[in-house]
């Protein structure tokens, strides 16, 4: 026997054993409900056993090519069905209601293919599976039928001619009646067609009138649309003018805001200048008063006998006494100068911002290049940082500024030894030693100690 056919029989036996071993109610599957197949377990076993018996009776004959191509798939499906049945072919209504239809449909599909491929009449004849006596009898019957068919070919033609003539004779009155009926039906259909034509003509006339009315309505609608279009165009022009006015108002508001900001800053700077002018006047006044006082003191001291160190000490004290007011005066002068520059810069920018809108209106009368040039020029003015006016070196004191000034640098170039000599003079300048005390020098001692 073919190996694959033997394997198929083996898988069917395993499936039969699975069904046989299942614990199913003896009353049958319908015991679990009317919606389950009305069979029992034994009938399913008979179905599988009968097919196994047919396959075993096939013997050692080779299977057909068509069945050889699908037998592996049948074996796989039976094995898969066996595995499923082991889990769900149980005495459980929820399982049986689904597994029984699946089980029977799968087997019916596979068994149908087996019957078609292995047990069809042609395959049984080719494989010589029929009994010899039956085969011989069938061949004899076939030969007899063939001879009868050969001898009856002429008879068939004659019988056919007789039957046709007889049928024509019988149908002749019927054909006349049919013609009359057909004529009557034709007349009726013609009358009906005329009526339908008249009805259609009236409907077409009504449609024509409706079309003309719709055409007039369409013209009226077109006129209304044109009117609405004109109204919309007017509104569009008004909206454009309003947008232009809004743009102008925005420009004016922007420029006024900038101008107001610049004006406010300029006023604040101008107001602060007066504070520093007041500080400058105080510094100059106090410097003049202290200078006058130191001059009087210095004049009194010059009338006395002083050493060089005492003279230098008085000079340094005089310088330091008026140094503070002079320093404040220098700082006030610097602040006044810087704040004046900044206030003028902000005032200029405020003037530019105020005049921008007016100049823009005039620039629009010329080329776009003129308008662009005006805008770029205005933007350049606004981009100029105020700190550019006070950028430079920062000095901590007027002496630093004096040393870094061009006049001092030119003096050092004209007199290269000026700085060196000044340094040497400062290092050599010291207080003289006190003279040795004498008997009558008690009066002068306090003077020297001064």
CA distances from 47 to 51, 67, 100 (A): 7, 21, 13
The DSSP annotation for 39-62 comes to --HHHHHHHHHHHHHHHHHTTTPP
Number of domains making up the chain? 2
Two structure tokens written together for 238: 């008004």
Instruction: For the chain, 450 residues long, give each residue's pLDDT as a single digit of tens.
Output: 677 777 878 888 888 888 888 877 777 777 777 877 788 888 888 888 888 887 777 666 666 677 677 778 888 888 888 888 888 887 777 777 788 888 888 888 888 877 777 766 555 555 455 555 555 666 666 666 766 666 666 666 667 777 777 666 666 655 667 777 788 888 888 888 888 888 888 888 888 888 888 888 888 888 889 888 888 888 888 877 777 777 666 666 666 666 676 677 777 777 777 888 887 788 778 777 877 777 776 676 666 666 666 667 766 766 666 667 777 777 777 777 777 777 777 777 777 766 666 556 655 666 666 666 666 666 566 656 565 555 556 555 565 566 666 666 676 666 666 555 544 544 444 433 334 444 444 433 333 333
Q: Report whether 308 contacts 315 (CB < 8 A).
A: no
- Domain end call among 86, 119, 152: 119
The DSSP annotation for 61-116 comes to PPPPHHHHHHHHHHHHHHHHHHHHHHHH-SS-HHHHHHHHHHHHHHHHHHHHHHHH
CA distance 83 to 384: 92
DSSP 397: S
Residue 223 is assigned to a structural domain of this protein: no
CA distance 3 to 63: 10
**pLDDT score recorded for residue 386:** 63
CA distance 15 to 78: 7
Short-list 73, 17, 27, 21, CA closest to 49: 17
**What is the reported pTM?**
0.32
Residue 143 is assigned to a structural domain of this protein: no
- Domain end call among 100, 119, 138: 119
Residue 201 is assigned to a structural domain of this protein: no
Residue 20 is assigned to a structural domain of this protein: yes
Residue 203 is assigned to a structural domain of this protein: no
Domain with 16, as residue range(s), is 3-119
Residue 138 is assigned to a structural domain of this protein: no
- Domain end call among 104, 119, 134: 119
């Amino acid at each position: 026997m073919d190996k694959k056919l033997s394997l198929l029989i083996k898988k069917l036996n395993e499936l039969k054993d699975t069904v046989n071993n299942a614990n199913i109610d003896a009353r049958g599957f319908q015991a679990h409900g009317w919606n389950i197949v009305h069979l029992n377990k034994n009938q399913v076993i008979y179905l599988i056993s009968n097919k196994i018996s047919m396959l075993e009776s096939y013997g050692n004959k080779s299977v057909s090519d068509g069945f050889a191509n699908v037998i592996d798939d049948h074996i796989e499906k039976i094995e898969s069905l066996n595995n499923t049945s082991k889990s769900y072919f149980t005495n459980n209504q929820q399982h049986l209601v689904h597994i029984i239809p699946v089980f029977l449909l799968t087997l019916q599909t596979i068994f149908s293919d087996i019957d078609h491929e292995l047990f069809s009449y042609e395959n049984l004849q080719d494989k010589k599976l029929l009994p010899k006596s039956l085969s011989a009898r069938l061949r004899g019957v076939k030969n007899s039928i063939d001879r009868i068919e050969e001898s009856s070919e002429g008879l068939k033609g004659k019988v056919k001619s007789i039957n046709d003539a007889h049928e024509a004779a019988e149908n002749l009155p019927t054909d006349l009646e049919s013609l009359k009926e057909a004529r009557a039906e034709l007349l009726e259909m013609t009358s009906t067609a005329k009526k339908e034509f008249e009805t259609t003509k009236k409907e077409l006339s009504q449609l024509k009138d409706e079309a003309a009315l719709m055409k007039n309505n369409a013209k009226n609608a077109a006129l209304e649309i044109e009117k609405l279009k004109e109204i919309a165009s007017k509104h569009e022009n008004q909206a454009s003018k309003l947008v232009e006015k809004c743009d102008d108002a925005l420009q004016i508001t922007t420029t006024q805001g900038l101008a107001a900001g610049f004006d406010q800053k300029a006023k604040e700077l101008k107001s602060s200048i007066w504070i520093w002018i007041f500080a400058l006047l105080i510094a100059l006044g106090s410097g003049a008063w202290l200078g006058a006082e130191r001059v009087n003191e210095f004049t009194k001291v010059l009338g006395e006998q002083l050493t060089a160190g005492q003279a230098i000490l008085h000079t340094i004290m005089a310088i330091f006494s008026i140094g503070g007011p002079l320093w404040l005066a220098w700082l006030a002068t610097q602040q006044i100068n810087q704040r004046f520059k900044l206030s003028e810069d902000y005032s200029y920018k405020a003037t530019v911002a105020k005049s921008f809108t007016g100049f823009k209106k005039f620039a629009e009368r010329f080329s776009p290049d003129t308008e662009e040039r005006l805008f770029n020029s205005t933007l350049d003015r606004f981009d100029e940082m105020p700190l550019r006016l006070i950028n430079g070196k920062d000095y901590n004191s007027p002496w630093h500024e004096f040393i870094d000034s061009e006049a001092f640098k030119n003096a050092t170039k004209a007199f290269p030894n000026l700085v060196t000599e000044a340094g040497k003079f400062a290092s050599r300048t010291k207080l003289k030693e006190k003279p040795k005390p004498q008997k009558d020098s008690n009066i002068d001692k306090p003077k020297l100690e001064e």
